[in-house]
Amino acid sequence: MQDSKTSILIAEDEDSVRTSLAQVLTVLGHRVRAASDGLAALIEMRQEAPDILLSDLSMPGMSGYELLSIVRRRFPAVRVIAMSGAFSGDQIPGGVTADAFYPKGYGLDILMRAIESLAPPNKVLRDTPEPIWIQRNGHDTQGEEFVTIACPDCFRTFQQVISGAALPMFETSCIFCQSSIHYGIVERSDPAFPLRFPPAPSVASSQIKASQFGT
């Protein structure tokens, strides 16, 4: 059945290697997608998280080391196989956040064993991720109300104008990696967040505290 196949995402910048791996894994019955770099892989994962990520460690732009660190934090259920030609043996190199390692140039049987050991027996459907809750920042120099959003994939921040918006929930795309971001606006008086955003102390209470210290 199509849904029972292991879904694999390949992140590899060399066209020939990426194409060969995708063809072999598809013939073996896996559901395969491919990305040419780390940022492209993150975009693919935002669309649908794979069961297994097979990633090269040396890629231009976002390296495999950075990609795997982000995946471990944002997609902890995804099993990861790192691959590189810079290391020998099938032991995971130090500092690499992966569940298995495939040394490039070695027999594909090593890769197949790693995939079989990590593949889940059944595909687990993911729920819609919780929104990122953001507090209003104020107004920019043009008078537009905005919030500052931290992308959960590339961790870079950017400003998003929200003036005139009628709904408390929003959808946007990261201006750097184009990942889809679902976020909500938290009002300071929102009763659902009494501890995270406590109300400012009143003038009277501030004066009492100041008098206690002789100021």
**Considering the chain, what is the average pLDDT of its residues?**
76
Q: Is there a contact between 202 and 168 (Cβ–Cβ < 8 Å)? A: no
**How confident is the model at residue 126, as a pLDDT?**
44
In which band, very low, low, confident or very high, does the pLDDT at 4 lie, cut at 50, 70 and 90? low
Name beta bridge partners: 54: 10, 81
Tokens of 14: 């060399």
Whole-angstrom distance, CA of residue 186 vs CA of residue 169: 10
Closest CA to 11 of 67, 51, 61: 67
Whole-angstrom distance, CA of residue 125 vs CA of residue 27: 24
Give the burial string for 5-31 (b: 16+ CB within 10 Å, else e): bbbbbbbbbeeeebeebbeebeeeebb
In which band, very low, low, confident or very high, does the pLDDT at 203 lie, cut at 50, 70 and 90? very low
**How confident is the model at residue 210, as a pLDDT?**
38
Closest CA to 53 of 73, 28, 77: 77
pLDDT per residue over 59-86, tens digit each? 888 888 888 888 888 898 999 999 987 7
Look at the block and give the residue holding tokens 């990305």.
Answer: 35
Closest CA to 82 of 56, 108, 63, 106: 56
Asked if the model's pLDDT at residue 90 lies above 50, the reply is yes
**How confident is the model at residue 119, as a pLDDT?**
77
Look at the block and give the residue holding tokens 């959003």.
Answer: 149
Q: Is there a contact between 11 and 64 (Cβ–Cβ < 8 Å)? A: yes
Whole-angstrom distance, CA of residue 51 vs CA of residue 75: 10
Percent of the chain with pLDDT over 70: 73
Asked if the model's pLDDT at residue 2 lies above 70, the reply is no
| Domains and their CATH numbers in the chain | 2-118 (3.40.50.2300), 132-199 (no CATH)
Higher pLDDT, 198 or 45: 45
pLDDT per residue over 95-149, tens digit each? 778 899 998 878 788 899 999 888 775 444 444 455 666 767 778 788 888 888 8
Q: Which of 69-78, 161-170, 195-204 has the highest mean pLDDT?
A: 69-78
Look at the block and give the residue holding tokens 């810079």.
Answer: 86
Name beta bridge partners: 9: 33, 53
pTM equals 0.56
Higher pLDDT, 207 or 170: 170
Asked if the model's pLDDT at residue 158 lies above 90, the reply is no
Instruction: Identify residue 21 by its one-letter amino acid code.
Output: L
In which band, very low, low, confident or very high, does the pLDDT at 174 lie, cut at 50, 70 and 90? confident
